[in-house]
Structure 1
Amino acid sequence: MTASACENQAAKMLEALQSDLKSLCMETKKRYPHIKDSCEEAIIKVRGASMNPQSSLSQITSQVLYPLVQAAETKDAKIVKLSLSLMQRLIVAGVVDGCSGEHVVETLWMLMEAGVEELKVLQTVTLLLTTNPAIQGHSLAKALVLCFRLHFTKDATVVNTASATVRQLVSVVFERVVAEDAPTQTTTTQQQQQQHEEMPRGEEGESLERGGAGGEVNFEELKVRSASPPKTLHPAAADAYLMFQDLVQLVNADEPLWLLGLTEMTRTFGLELLESVLTTFPTVFYNHPEFTFLLRDRVCALVIKLFSPNIKYRASVPASVQQATPLDKPYFPIAMRLLRLVSVLIQKYYPLLVTQCEIFLSLMVKFLDGDRPMWQRGLALEVLHKLATQPALLHSFCTNYDMKPHATKIFQDIVNSLGAFVQSLFISPQSSSPGVGGGGGVGGGGVGSGGGQSPQLLGGMPVGPGVSPQPAFFYRGVYLPLCVTIPTGQAKSSYLEMLDKLEPPNIPEGYGVSLAYYCLLDIIRSVHLVMMGPNALTEGSSEQYSPTAEERKVHEQLVNSAWCGLLAALTVLLEACTDEAATESILKAIQTFASLAGKLELTTPRDAFITALCKSCLPPHYTLTVLNNASVAASASAAAASSSSSSSAVGRGHQRTPSQEAQQQQQQQHQYYDAEVRHQVVAVGTALATPSLPVGAQQGPVMLTNKNLQCMRATLSMAHCHGGVLGAAWHLLLTTLQHLVWILGLKPSTGGSLKAGRSTAETNAVITTAVIADLPVLSSMLSRLFESSQHLNDVALHHLINALCQLSQESMELAYTNREPSLFAVAKLLETGVVNLGRVEVLWRPVTNHLLEVCQHPHVRMREWGVEAVTYLVKAALTHKHTPPLKDNQAALTHKHTPPLKDNQKLQTLLLSPLSEVSLVGHPDVRQKQLESLLHILHSCGELLHHGWPLILNIIGAINDNHSEHLVRLAFQCLQLVVTDFLPLMPWACLPLTVDTAAKFGSQTQELNISLTAIGLMTQELNISLTAIGLMWNISDYFYQNQEKLRASLTPDSQVFPDFPGVPNMPPFDKLWMCLYARLGDLCVDSRPAVRKSAGQTLFSTIAAHGALLHHQTWQAVLWQVLFPLLDKVRQLSDSASTDKVDQGGKHSYPSLTPLETFPVPGALLLDFIHTAALSKSNEVSLAALKSLQEMLQTGRGATPTPQHTSNTTTNTTNNNDTNTHKHTHTYTHTTPYTLVRRCDRQLEYRLEGLAHHRI
């Protein structure tokens, strides 16, 4: 404001002052001439001041005030009013100094005692103290007493005005302290709080601290009550200290020390003032140790004293505060204000009052006891709800009490008392007694004869179709409505705000249970925020939990302290709740707490909450041993926890006597039908048999309500969102889902998903139209649950797989007793495997090993789904793109498949091994599915399986004569496809196995056509066209055209090729042909003539066409290990055939053949064979021998041709072999091994022709 403006304002004020003084002069000139004279003098002074701008009005204030004081002393209402108006003008002008202010206060005190213009007096006092900080000390005290005394007059208007004035002036006194501290304050309130939090308990007030004025505070001196302020305080703080001290004195019914003259004070008003100061000015108490001392030593003692009615002292209460005398009965106005004050102390001053708050909380918990009036319990619940919404406070409670070895577990007691309170509300109303003080019944949660009755019994209650009932809790015949709605994380008080009530209010029915319900939800919310951080509830926040070691200890204690009471209350509320939205809130709270326990690896609370969640999905009477066992374990843990706690709430919530157990069993059926009344039945099905249920025992029809399905969805959500922390609890959860799926009639389909049965007869379930549309949704949720397993880490995934395997094992045990098993676990193992193929090494062996066990089960449906799962998994894994996963899939990022599947031998072997192990199963239906899948694999991804051919060929070759014609045909289809399409892709090491596999089909006896075709397949490797087998030419061309490639790739691997004695250095390529010749030789003596003939022709043609590819030394092996042994077998078989044909009892007259190794040269042995055959009784054999001898003699006379690699021609090429021929004694030995082989071929051919018409 500019100087000229100030001058103008001052001039106007002086002019108005003159006018008012003139009015006062006119009013008093007749009756009070001395006042008139004083007014005139004052007018002159004011006029002089207005004419001299340099003079100050404050210099003449005393002269102006003098007639005003005189006027007030007249006690004439009109004159006093004028006088007070002039005083107010001076006060507003700011010209009243400390000395003048004392005169004003004295004048006002006189008017107060005289009862004149009381409202104007209050108005003047307010102006004086709010605008003039110079009024301090005694004057300030007198002004405050003046207002207090006017508060207790009989005029209601004055009382109300005085009440407002007192509140305002008390605040003004503390505002002065804040203003006084502002320029010199160097420590923020937050820093002060931190210092107090770090102060060890028990040391509060025992040391010297620096006070507000810079001196050392001696708390021993402060303990002595005095009217003198501490020397360490500045003036404004000193006044506030003395005023606050007297307020406590007055509430405690003691004489004031500074507010002298105050003769009466109501405790309710005093508590309101204390609460107002403590609520508004916490900085003063944190910044000044003197005020902190008042708080600890005086206020807390007062609170504990006022708590005492009907509450016994605790042993831990300090002796200094055990001086109160309990009153006869609690008084609502005081109890309500006391709890408001306690709420402020705990919320705003907890760091200063750690020990005292322990006492407050312990006493407040007692307010929830069953013998308390309901209004008292309601007030305590409102305070507890305020505390429950503050995560930092709960964290402090746990740190300072529950974690200390010898302290009361306050947080645990709070939660347990809430649990016991909730349970007590649902006790039958007949056994409850009226509350004290007319505040409503204890058990029913309200007043009136209708309290606790079911809705059908309440007059005017809208029930029936089309009516939306009020949200409520209905349990064991007790009906309690949910009568308030409070937003999550906020506290809303009703009865703590009833400052105008003198009598206890009637608590509405259901108010107690409603508040307890919100308290429980907010406790879980706060614990969640403590653990996961303040942003945990914001959308998109991370669920990563990585605490320090100290933080983890606190979090574990929070969960351990809270879970028993929470579980006791929430299970009852969940069962009793009739409202869908409230049920959803309870279910989310249970999920949240279970996940928090899971993150901390606290298995007992986690499993207990998951068990509660699972039980809510099933009807009350449903027998499920695994859930009952989990409940017993939880009860035992809860009982142990309650024994270590000062509260017995959990014991009441979990422990039952045998008689109570029996009573509960008797009530189960009644509760079941109770549930039907409260909730719509949406599905009726049969119970799934369990191993614990005796064989032949039948459970009745199972009815599921819409609430059961709501709980099922919550269970699915729990598993979907928190699967990573479930651990062994997966088994509980999956068992429940399996039973629900069975009841609803959902059956597994391709890929492991579940679908509703096509007919009622197929499912034995009756589904209402209300839920038919939900079945696909539930099925989709189930599938998404297992799809989400791809985001689990490896440990969590193993927990899931182990639970599914355990569940499947139970179903297998059930099926052994010829009871219908559930296929849920097998189907979901498949679904889990398919979505986690990105990390196939982690899950493949445990999943497939169990599925292979299922494949061997005698129950048809069981093994059908076992082999379906195995084959589906193998097919999916082989077609899966085993490439590096996306960055957002952290679970699979550690399982990158390099090299890719085509070049990854380890991965191919891993994936195909389960399919190969199915060959050990003897059930034909399983083998059929195996071969069908193999055929599919060959068609879809055979070109990728470079390293998997040994397993594939073993699968094909595992089919033998003991299998059905259909299986043999199916396996042979696979073999045809392999030989036709995949020989170029096959590594060389698989070629002998391919030959062996084909030979196995040649020797099998199921069907002749397949045997002949298998022989043709082998001959296709030999580049000639002597048979009518369709695939021979293509394969012959491949081997012939790729002989150089094969020679280069083959290595002498002893594990691939058999030993060929006598030829130690046989080339690998020759060994490959030797394998072929040996297998063909075996088939030449088959028991079926057609097979023998085809095998012989193939062997001879092969040697003739491709014998030139062999090395010289290999021919010795061909002779001695293939042809001569074959001649020996043929001779023996021909002898047997001729004997059977000519003389069944006769015997050959010639001695048996000399052992082969005794013959010095092959030629001699060949002649011996011819000689023996020529003397055979069989005309056909004898004739063949003579023909062979004739050809041998003719060949011996001529030149021996050199073998050529291009054809089987024996032309008349004149090739001089003199330089390459050994000199032998006998002319018939002048031959090469190739020539001998040709002769042996001819001899074998003739002998086989002789046997062609004989059945061996």
Structure 2
Amino acid sequence: MTEEEAIVAAEAEEAIKDKDKSSHWLIGGSNKDEGSDSDSDEIPVASPAKVRRSSGEGPAKVRRREVSTPVPKLTRELSMQYSDFNILSSLNSQLFESSALMHISAVKSLLCALCQLSYQCMSGTSSSLGPTTSQKIGSISFSVERMISILVNNVHRVEPFWDQVTCHFLELADNSNPHLKNMALDALDQSISAVLGSDRFQDYKQSKSLETSQEMEVNIDKLKSLECSVISPLKVLYFSTQSVDVRVGSLKILLHVLERYGEKLYYSWPNILEMLRYVADVSEKDLVTLGFQNLRVIMNDGLSTLPTDCLQVCVDVTGAYSAQKTELNISLTAVGLLWTMTDFIAKGLLNGPFEEKETGVNSIVKQVDNEKTEDPTLFSNIVRDRTSSIDGVDFEKLLFSVFSLLQNLGADERPEVRNSSVRTLFQTLGTHGQKLSKSLWEDCLWNYVFPTLDRASHMAATSSKDEWQGKELGTRGGKAIHMLIHHSRNTAQKQWDETLVLVFGGIARILRMFFPFFTSLSNFWSGWESLLQYVDNSILNGSKEVALAAINCLQTTVNSHSSKGNMPMPYLISVINVYELVLRKPSSYHGSAADKVTQEILHCLGELYVQAQGLFNDVVYTQLIAIIDLAVKQAMLTNDNFEIEFGNVPPVLRTILEILPLLRPTKHICSMWSVLLREFLQYLPRQDSHLHSEDGKIDQARDYQVKYDVPNGSTPISHNEVAASPGSGSTVAITGLPSYIFAEKLVPVLVELFLQAPAVEKHIIYPEIIQSLGR
């Protein structure tokens, strides 16, 4: 026994021998007549200090008179035992508090004694009933509390005792008695918090910023060993048991640690992330929920404190929670955390060298907006790739890992998860795209953007059209009751259509923001052609919603950049060609859906001309008018009886009347006035139109359909034939379909256009105007 223990034991023995004196001190040295029967054997039930301060009427007396049930009196013998207990209890507390002054071996002996007491009482505690079990649990509780007290008072030198104490707590947690389990978990939580909350754990950044020395390196090694040993019991506790309650307790302790001391951790992150990654794959909902709560704390508050080599692991763990199937809401929230990660990565990309920052996408977009770029090839000379490795972190690699996860999640069988992933992918590209270099953007387009479009397009075309039943809510009359699903989302194909719409919307967003920069990429034209093929296929074979999204994808790009002169002529012509090709081919939908798509294309053509008037020459303008003419003829054939039944102009023809005023030729193509007016004069009724029989109209319709609708039919009419004068032989056979209401609405539009034409063009077309009006 050490000197300190001998002194404490001697003091305890002396106090016990002097119990008479202690009893007199406890009673308070009363001067009352000891012969009084009513007061001589009565001991106030209060602390010794209060007893000494009390007068003749002690607190116990007052309390006894207030309570109807009499309080049993304590004899002098019991009072002496009570005195002994208080003295020993006080000495007991002093013993464990003074353990900080003991030798390490003495403290270990004290801990061994406490562990032995706990082990002796652990047997027979599997049942929570009976006074014996309660007494044993009380003894174990005493041992555990004193162990914690020793750790708290020896936190400055906790290493020699830590494993001994925590191993005992882990054994207690493995006990079948729920009281002991909770006791062990609470003790472990208190112990870890006591160590991490001590002055020994300072902010790692502060210690790293100090001047390094050999002594400091030694201290850092000790701190590393201590931190790992403090956190490791949580991992051991989780993996050493199959009890869900114990695993939940382990994750709760970890959550408390991360919330309170996460910024102080540095070396134990690999173990923490490994544990959370394992939790993501379990089937128990409670465990997955707690594991994800831990991850949210890390992602929201601890990314900046993570070691650089743990960032990739953190991305992978977040991806695992996004892909888990136990809880849908966790998957959706985890996808949002991936966006948080991209924000963090983007800050790293932004911290590159100054001279390289000014040669990225942002500087090119600024130059385009200020109309300073004269040659598209200048982009390839200006933009240089930036080094993204800062403080050992490869931010480009991290960014691609996030994009890869989002791309894979974009194929998830759960519509909510894949739609959220698609949104997040394109939102992050739109938000941080100006910080990406040319090489990064090329990788993004070819490895993530276009493959995402390809997969969504393929799944939308091949998924099942069988209707789904909603989730079963219960039964009524022996029949199952299912949740109703809206008709627009009640099949797998419709759900994938929704995903494809989001993909087209995302591509439209990045094209609107970065199209001038994209045109500087070496292989972007090839990607643009691929995009046009997907648009063409989606318009012809997709649903109405998909077709409209595909059209909007192209039109957004044209409208955003044509007016600024940032749309190269080949790209503009390619868009016009797609619209023409779509109108010439039959689509997979009919009726109002087909009319809606055609109307949208016509509106887009009108807007395209308004935005890009300066880029049009005679050839392109003639092609535009030919496409409008094609749409008129198709509308007359498909809506042959519309005017008779409803007495109104068909929707497609009504749209043509709306866009015609927008097609006024500009000064540099003023010779196109005659082409525009002549093309639409042919739709005015002729004097002999009433002689056409119904059989004639059917024959003409057949002739037209062979030339325009059948993909493998005769050669379509060329632009020159369509733009020829009404008297030419190529158009007489297909322009005899009268549409009197359309003609009536068309006359004022043509007159207004004629009045706006230059004098020279009026003089040329005037005779045809008079002839067509029948005057």
> TM-score category by the smaller chain?
0.3 to 0.5
Q: TM-score when scaled to structure 2? A: 0.42
Q: TM-score when scaled to structure 1? A: 0.28
Q: Hey, which of these two has a bigger chunk of helix by percent?
A: 2
Q: More relative contact order in 1 or in 2 (CA 8 Å, sep 6+)?
A: 2
Structure with larger Rg:
1
